[in-house]
Homo-oligomer: A and B are copies of this chain.
Amino acid sequence: MAATADRPLSIDLAPTDRIAVIAGGGDLPRELVRGLTAAGRPPFVIVVGGEDRAGLTDGDHTVLELEEYGRLLPVLRAARATHVVMAGSVSRRPRLRAIRFSLGLLKLLPGIVRGLGRGDDALLRVVVSHIEAAGIKVVGSHQILPDILAGPGALTRTRPAAAHQAGIAAGLAAARAIGALDIGQAAVAVGRRVVAVEGVEGTAGMLARVRDLRASGRISMPGGVLVKCAKPGQELRADLPAIGPDTVAQVHEAGLAGIAVEAGRAIVLRQADVIATADRLGLFVVGIDGPAS
């Protein structure tokens, strides 16, 4: 079966290859399914239980609860998947007491227990190594969809002003510092001051906090910037920092002036919508140089 899309994939696939998408929340899994389907490569979709399924269940799919992690490899094998893409956010961790045990899971358990107590990146590395040990290749969304990564420079009509550079630098330093500790990928700076750093609450949660801190007067200066960058040395095939149109709206509600993401290592979802929304709201979105790592 040859790819028939007007928007080809970035990855070379053999005719017998089949991609499985492990789909968490957010827009990225939907974009992947749409892109793969349009390219004549409809994927097998594993929807993570508890996340939004819209647009994910039209073709071959199954739903896997976090607590059924032991079924992942059998499901992938049954679907004859040769490649796996992990995409989208998983907003909770499995309830340990609700895990359904199986022989397969017992073998994976030491790695899972090790991963669960650590940061997202450590946990994702465990999942990646489980899948690859089964002879299935793990690839990143950006290795499949062309043009999904942020490029360098301003995407928007509005560009960051000279006055924003110190805030971008401060936010980048904070995001890198917590990234190096596998805590989060984002920070918000107002003026030169970092006012919020991302933890388990995620970027939307952090932006809601900044909005509330501004409303209560704890942040008094106008403007500010959201900075997102990959964790130094992180597993780039899973969990690249991402923004989408919702992020732009949340940044606006938090009273910020724009967004800076690491060029080449951050995903801009629904890029046309991101730009249109930011242009309408007068915000900048800019790709900045990240650290080599």
Residues in A lying within 8 Å of B, measured CB to CB = 91-96, 116-119, 166, 170, 173-174, 177-178, 180-184, 188, 190-201, 205, 209, 213, 216-221
Would you give 6 A-B contacts (Cβ < 8 Å), ordered by A? A93-B218, A93-B221, A118-B193, A174-B183, A182-B194, A201-B218
CB distance from A153 to the nearest CB of B (A): 26
Q: How far is the CB of A208 from chain B (nearest CB, A)?
A: 10
Number of chain copies forming the complex: 2
Residues of B within 8 A of A91 (CB): 216-218
Q: Give the residue name and chain of the B residue nearest to A192 (CB).
A: B117
Bound: A100/B91 CA distance, A: 47
B192 touches A199 (CB 8 A): no
A23 to chain B, nearest CB (A): 18
Q: How many angstroms between the C-alpha atoms of A184 and B188 in the bound complex?
A: 13
Nearest B residue to A191 via CB reads B117
Determine the distance from Cα of A113 to Cα of B92 in the docked complex, in whole angstroms. 42
Q: How far is the CA of A218 from the CA of B66 in the complex (A)?
A: 12
Partner of A221, one of B96, B193, B216: B96
The answer, among B170, B184, B192, B221, for a CB contact under 8 Å with A197, is B184
> Given A117-B191, A191-B117, A96 and B220 touching (CB < 8 A)?
yes
Which 4 residue pairs across A and B have the least CB separation, nearest first?
A: A117-B191, A92-B217, A196-B199, A93-B220
